[in-house]
Amino acid sequence: MTAILLDGDVLARRRFDELAARVVSLAKRGVVPRLATVLVGDNPASQSYIGRKHENCAELGMASDDIRLRGDISEDALIAQVEALNADPLIHGALVQLPLPAHLDEGRVGEAVSPAKDVDGLHPMNLGRLLAGTPGLLPCTPAGIEDLLRAHDVPLAGRRVAIIGRGMLVGRPLAMLLSLPGTDAEVTLLHRRSPDLAEVTRQADVVVSAAGQPDLVTADMIRPGAAVVGVGITYVDGGMVSDIADEVAQVAGHITPRHGSVGAMTRAHLLSNLVRIAEAG
């Protein structure tokens, strides 16, 4: 068996094309969606992620502000910067790139971003709406994963989904999203210390791993024909290693590439949130 590739790079390009048409419509109204990003310090991976977001904005005809701050900035000074973006009527969406230096409280900084400008979809108010079943701005990576599965006709209603990783960026909000009425997946949220991890994944129709542990998911953990999505990436000896071992492609029915795919979908849905905010304004 050779798995069908869940190619998020190709799908993201389609989504960007759709967004470009909406940006043209906004321009006719004199509106240019504008994104502001805040990067603290010089984390190379974060610099790369930020760079791609600004490249996508430029490609789609949207404006963006790339704000770089010293790694030793105080928490109060960082929050003051965020509050200035909240108050700027020309800025439609804002985000603070994670991770932050250890002396900064990511929770407090994240809560400082206005829920109305929260293009990441991770403000407690937006996550609370998702939990309540009345979602607004959706978390970008979970929304991108659902979009990727639906676009490839992977059934979700009544199907068993195993999610490895309980973080607030992917695992927990994805569990909420896929279990919403209308999607109706049967979701089990796991983590690396779950004693029955392999037993649960072997029964699942869809397995998503966002644990950040190299080659965590192996072929013997996957039911033949299941869809497998790798989100977690670990940097080892200068290279990127997925949570999903190469051998899984010989068992799965659908699988994401070893690298990429989900990242492109994340950016597509982040900019979708930005356009949505601009359209509502």
Which residues are part of a known binding site? Answer: 165-167, 233
Residue reference for tokens 């321009």: 27
Q: How far is it between the farthest Cα atoms of the chain?
A: 57
Q: How far apart are CA 36 and CA 23, in angstroms?
A: 17
Catalytic position from the list 53, 117, 118, 243: 53
CB atoms within 10 A of CB 107: 10
Q: Is 117 a catalytic residue?
A: no
Q: How far apart are CA 47 and CA 43, in angstroms?
A: 6
Catalytic position from the list 81, 118, 120, 147: 120
Residue 45 and residue 235 in contact, taking contact as beta carbons nearer than 8 Å: yes
Annotated binding site for NADP(+), which residues?
165-167, 233
Burial 42-62 (b: 16+ CB within 10 A, else e): ebeebeebbeebbebbeebeb
Q: Is 28 a catalytic residue?
A: no
Q: Is 120 a catalytic residue?
A: yes
The H or E element that residue 277 is part of is: helix 262-280
- Secondary structure of residue 180 in the 3-state scheme: coil
Beta-sheet strand order (sheet of 254-255): 4-5, 254-255, 227-230, 206-209, 160-164, 186-190
> Phi, psi at residue 99, to the nearest 5°?
-80, 160
The three-state DSSP-derived secondary structure of 82-114 is HHHHHHCCCCCEEEECCCCCCCCCHHHHHHHCC
Catalytic residues: 53, 97, 120
